[in-house]
Chain A
Amino acid sequence: MWILNWLPDWLFYVMFLAGVLSLVIGKILANTRLYAYPAGVALIILGTWYSGGIAKDKEWKEKVAEVEAKLAIAQQASAKVNEKIITKVITKNQIIKLRGDDIVKYIDKEVIKYDNTCKIPIEVITVHNMAAKHD
């Protein structure tokens, strides 16, 4: 209810009371009845409507605050999950790299002995590159 956002709440309670007062005045002073009664009824309707609106608005604001709190908790939990994932990815990638380095060391130590005896045909290179590029 946008109107509740820029008008103070008390104004609608005053509106309701003014409506009641208007009906009372209309009852006491017969010559004002023509205006006092319709104005009183209108003010009572508006006052009641917006008083209900104020209560509903308050209820919604509480629900919004509740949802916002839940979202904040979810964001914090998500940030923690991200932190855990980053740590795990970096650590595991370092382990994979170290394992790869160990294999390279083994190749440079043991396989190197067969470099002169085992000639690699060009077809092997071609197939390797085709597999690597996935052509």
Chain B
Amino acid sequence: MIKYIAILLLAGCATAVPVKQVFPSVPEELLKPCPALTTIETQEIKLSELLNIVSANYTKYYQCSNVLEAWTTWYKENKKISEE
């Protein structure tokens, strides 16, 4: 009798935690890798063509830097939300 009572009382210890915290989703824009920089594929190049490639590479850098900055904002904002 006591054995059965103990089993029934111990059943109270089996409690499952039903709350599941979901990791905040990240915008797709931030998951794209930075593009590779353009190289010069010819042996000869004009000054204007060279500078166009250099300018295009700087554009890629600034766009990538922009995404990195967005990642920092995403982290700070989501940290603030999770701490509230």
- Tell me if B29 and A125 are in contact (CB < 8 A): no
A57 (CB) vs chain B CBs: closest residue = B15
Q: Using Cβ atoms and an 8 Å threshold, which residues of chain A touch B24?
A: 74-75, 78, 82
Chain B residues bordering chain A, tally (CB within 8 A): 52
Instruction: Kindly provide the distance from the CB of A91 to the nearest chain B CB, expressed in whole angstroms.
Output: 10
- Tell me if A125 and B12 are in contact (CB < 8 A): no
Instruction: Kindly provide the distance from the CB of A124 to the nearest chain B CB, expressed in whole angstroms.
Output: 7
- Tell me if A49 and B84 are in contact (CB < 8 A): no
Q: Using Cβ atoms and an 8 Å threshold, which residues of chain A touch B46?
A: 112, 115, 120
Report the interface size class on chain A.
35 or more
Q: Using Cβ atoms and an 8 Å threshold, which residues of chain A touch B37?
A: 132-133
Tell me the total A-B contact number using a CB cutoff of 8 A: 130
Q: Using Cβ atoms and an 8 Å threshold, which residues of chain B touch A128?
A: 39-40, 50, 53-54
Interface members, chain B 55-84 (any A CB < 8 Å): 55-59, 62-63, 66-67, 70, 73-74, 77-78, 81-82, 84
A60 to B18, CA, bound (A): 10
Q: Using Cβ atoms and an 8 Å threshold, which residues of chain A touch B45?
A: 120, 125
Q: Which of A64, A67, A89, A114 lies in contact with B30, CB distance below 8 A?
A: A89
Q: Using Cβ atoms and an 8 Å threshold, which residues of chain B touch A129?
A: 39-40
Binding site for B on A (CB under 8 A): 1-3, 38, 42, 45-46, 49-50, 53, 60, 64, 67-68, 71, 74-75, 77-79, 81-82, 85-86, 88-90, 92-93, 96-97, 99-100, 103-104, 107-108, 111-112, 114-115, 118, 120, 122, 124-125, 128-129, 132-133
